Amino acid sequence: MIIVMGSRDPEAIAQVVKKIEAFGYQTHLIEGVERTVIGAVGDERGKDRLRSLESFPGVESVVPILKPYKLAGKELRTENSVCRVGNAEIGGGKFCVVAGPCSVESREQIIESAEIVRDAGATMLRGGAYKPRTSPYSFQGMEEDGLKLLREAADGVGLPFVTEVMTPEQAPLVADYADMLQIGARNMQNFGLLKAVGRTSKPVFLKRGMMSTIEELLMSAEYIMSEGNANVVLCERGIRTFETETRNTMDLSAVPVLKKRTHLPVVADPSHGTGHWEYVAPMAKASVAVGADGLMIEMHPRPEEAFSDGAQSLKPARFAALMNELKPYIALAGKTL
């Protein structure tokens, strides 16, 4: 429910908040230019009790939230959110480019990668310390040693970094090192993991599942936000279809749909979306055109030697060229890098 206050009296607002919380609901206070709105999120079965608040002093109206994603949707919050990750911003007119290798492979590799993406103008560093792989015999990542190397590399170039967390038990450890926690496509509906990252203080980068609907993505974001963590960024990374020419089918239409449905920032990942380096640049430019707030791009100093995803990783020169080519697209979209 949304409780619209006709009065801006702090005491009246405090009394309504106290009553809502006594009903067992979470409260979310939004101070607008003309009025104050209180979001009440919780068990649907108690909504009749919330309607009684219309008789409270200072309450103008009580309006139901129609969408199932209460916190992620635009009914409660109409202004677009800005996610701050260290010295980087995602959303709010700031275009963010997150770049780096699929996996941390060595100290030399991740430090070299960090310097390359920094020099090319990227906003954040990415790299996997824990890797979800289809085969149990594939490289699984350097784990905590990888986290330490990511921290060293990111600090060395002055960029924040994002890395994937795969289990609820890993969440506190990864949060100790990382500036942002990534939920991969395979874990988008790992609800225990979503709750665990929601209980951390770190921003969350949530990737769409390869066979998930847009509403399911928003409901996964709702799981995170319902635990008290509102700093969520959504990522379109391609879905699985019958097409085999690309690794996935990059659903660029999801970007404007999400921008209509949610206030959360939306990023596109053309590397996983296509699976081939030669398609990354055109899909990156298209992502800017359809309204994305940022890009996640895989870049490896030597893709032919990469432990994972070498085929979709850009070489340093190609990545630097793409960063320059993106500038007029970003400016045309009314954003700044």
CATH number, residue 110: 3.20.20.70
- Asked if 48 and 92 sit in the same domain, the reply is no
Token pair recorded at residue 300: 């490896």
- Asked if 230 and 123 sit in the same domain, the reply is yes
Residue 174 forms part of a structural domain: yes
The pLDDT score that the predictor gives to residue 139 is 66
Distances (CA, A) of 114 to 151, 183, 248, 312: 11, 21, 27, 18
The pLDDT score that the predictor gives to residue 134 is 65
Residue 326 forms part of a structural domain: yes
Determine whether 100 is exposed, middle or buried from the number of CB atoms within 10 Å of its CB (0-12, 13-18, 19+).
Answer: buried
Give me the CATH number covering residue 28: 3.30.70.1140
The pLDDT score that the predictor gives to residue 53 is 87
Q: How many domains does the chain have?
A: 2
| Residue 219 domain boundaries | 83-332
- Asked if 122 and 258 sit in the same domain, the reply is yes
- Asked if 34 and 141 sit in the same domain, the reply is no
Residue 68 forms part of a structural domain: no
DSSP 153-199: HHHHHT--EEEE--SGGGHHHHHHH-SEEEE-GGGTT-HHHHHHHHT
Residue 76 forms part of a structural domain: no
Please tell me the distance from the alpha carbon of residue 301 to that of residue 216, in angstroms, as a whole number: 36
Residue 337 forms part of a structural domain: no
- Asked if 93 and 170 sit in the same domain, the reply is yes
CB 240 within 8 A of CB 249: yes
Token pair recorded at residue 207: 């990737």
- Asked if 57 and 94 sit in the same domain, the reply is no
32: left (phi over 0), alpha (psi -120 to 50) or beta: beta
State residue 26 phi and psi, 5-degree precision: -80, 145
- Asked if 35 and 145 sit in the same domain, the reply is no
| Tokens 């490896």, residue located | 300
Nearest CA among 79, 82, 118 for reference residue 100: 118
The pLDDT score that the predictor gives to residue 208 is 98
Please tell me the distance from the alpha carbon of residue 31 to that of residue 270, in angstroms, as a whole number: 37
CB 271 within 8 A of CB 306: no
Residue 74 forms part of a structural domain: no
Residue 14 forms part of a structural domain: yes
User: What are the mean pLDDT values of the chain's consecutive 10-residue runs (337 residues total)?
Assistant: 82 88 84 77 76 86 83 88 95 95 96 98 95 67 92 97 96 96 97 96 97 97 93 97 96 97 97 97 98 98 92 97 97 94
Residue 78 forms part of a structural domain: no
